[in-house]
Amino acid sequence: MAIITSPQIENEIEQKKDETDIVDLTICYYCKSTGLNEEDKFCPNCRFPQNGTQREMKRFLVNVANKKQLLIDKKKSVKKARIILFILAGLNFVFGIVFGIVLNFNIQILIGSILGALIYFGLGMWSRKNPFPAILSGFLIYVVFNVITAIANPATIVQGIIWKVLIISGFVYGYKGVKDSEALEVELASIKEAKDLSPTHEV
């Protein structure tokens, strides 16, 4: 799917605002679906208020534009969650090298951290192809790692609490963003796609 940028959306609204002069009520002004019932208020494909007021039409256009902007925001939150996965991979790797080799040779810390780094890195890569399961797994693994650390040393619960909250929020917004953007993409795609809704084309 092509990336939609904010200026593009604004231009689209501006164009549509000046063009809402509907001549043929059987063709949807917005999605160009055909075979619409002239008495219907809304287009059955995109919900454009063909027989509505100018205000309602503009509200529809703004609503669609908002959804496009929301899609951009949701995709950004998915990207942020992916970045968090790579950051955690990097931090685990550095932690393993510093505390497992440089400061004091500790094979358990080294293996644990390198394994953690590999898991997060793998999830980060997986999130490019399949973001929802990768981000959800990353979130739950992060929580479990913190619980394991807290069981061993309860004082760690409050250590770096702000970072922990930020990371968890990033993950939550990330996996929710994947699902929300999937739903928005389906909705926006159906709005764009023109259909023949005449009774003779009944499936």
Partner 1 sequence: MKCENCQTISHSQSTYCGKCGKSLVKEVSLDYNKSIQNILIFFFILLGYIATINFIDFENDYINTLLIDVLFAAIIFVFYFIDFKTINKLLSLKGLKKFLLIKILVGAPLFAIIVSYLAGFLNQSIFDKSQLRYYEQFIDSPAPITLSIISIALIPAIFEEIAFRGILFNHLTKVSRLKSTILISSILFTILHLSLLSALWIFPIGLLFGYFRAKYRSLWYGILGHFMYNGSIVIIEIITFK
Among the listed residues 44, 91, 93, 168, the single contact to partner 1 using CB under 8 A: 44
Give the shortest CB-21-to-partner 1 separation in angstroms.
21
Considering only 46, 57, 88, 167, the residue that binds partner 1 (CB under 8 A) is 46
The count of chain residues that interact with partner 1, using the rule CB under 8 A, is: 43
Region binding partner 1 by CB under 8 A among candidate stretches 5-13, 70-78, 92-100, 148-156: 148-156
Give least dist CB 176 to partner 1, A.
Answer: 8
Residue 26 main-chain phi, psi, to 5 deg: -90, -10
Residue 48-87 contact track with partner 1, rule CB under 8 A, x = bound: -x--------------------------------------
Task: Decide: is 158 part of the binding site for partner 1 (CB under 8 A).
Answer: no
What Rg, from alpha-carbon coordinates, does the chain have? 25
Say if residues 27 and 194 touch (Cβ distance below 8 Å).
no
List residues near partner 1 by CB under 8 A.
Answer: 35-37, 40-47, 49, 107-108, 111-112, 115, 130, 132-133, 136-137, 140-141, 143-144, 147-148, 150-151, 175-176, 179-180, 183, 186, 190, 195, 197, 199, 201-203
